[in-house]
Structure 1
Amino acid sequence: MEKSAQEILDQYGDMVFRTAYAMVKNPHDAEDIAQDVFVCLVRVQPKFESDEHQKAWLLRVTINRSKSFLRSAWQQRTQGLPDTLPDAAFTPGESTVLEAVAKLPEKYRQVVYLYYVEGYSSAELAKLLRLPQNTVLSRMARARKQLAKMLEGEFDYVEG
């Protein structure tokens, strides 16, 4: 059964926005990108084999639109006002981790977000990002190492 654009928006709208936000780090630009993704969906009207295929298509288009936005001459020549996430929505620890993830280079931020938030495996990420699986694994390892360095001393773990 084919879903309407509204049903797809209801089901995947938050995911598309969060993915764009994770890449561009600005809610207003992420909203624009998400809107572009769904306009593309309505214009192209692709046929999907499954819900997973549909989700992967939406993520792929979102990632591509986000990368295009980040490469644009306008984006490279301007500096927007800093947007911060509202602290009330997250615990202090979560806010600290999110800020650290936001500081990662795009290629690392992308795999961390898709792996930990969207729940994709490294094999699925490789396919989705069109990268060798070992590249995905290397990026994850490097991202974890950078996060560990950034968050060093932030959390006290008690072993028991």
Structure 2
Amino acid sequence: MTSNSSVISEARIGRNSRRVIAGVVGVACLFIIATAIPSGVLLITTALAIALLLLTAVVLRMTVSIEAAAENLVLRCRPFYAKHIPLADIVDASPAPASSMTEGFGVRYLGRRTWGLLVGGPAVTIELPNRTWIVSTPEPEATATAVLAHAGKLRDG
């Protein structure tokens, strides 16, 4: 976040989803190591398992945020991605259907010119002239209102 921007929303992967992901990856790593013992490539597969565990740790700490700056809306999927959107390009913002593990986590192409920054749970839809963003947020209604207010396009009623 820069000194002249404010965080509108920040979301993290839910506790239950983190447990499921950590459990699946943990079992996979144990399987990788267990199958490597008889084959004699334990060092290489242990390194692979450690790399997988480190990548998983980064993903489990991932946050998705929406920040408002003077002339831009900044969509972030920390530590992987950031997108600056000129406030003038925002057509609309509204609550979106909740995302789940089936949509995945992180930066996702969802089809029909729609991209997502997802960590599961509630989300907001931000419409631009040529693209739509679906961004996870704990409070979709308040986030949509704040995005529209920063863009100077607050809806009546």
Higher helix share: 1
For the criterion TM > 0.5, the same-fold answer is no
TM category, shorter: under 0.3
Higher-Rg structure is 2
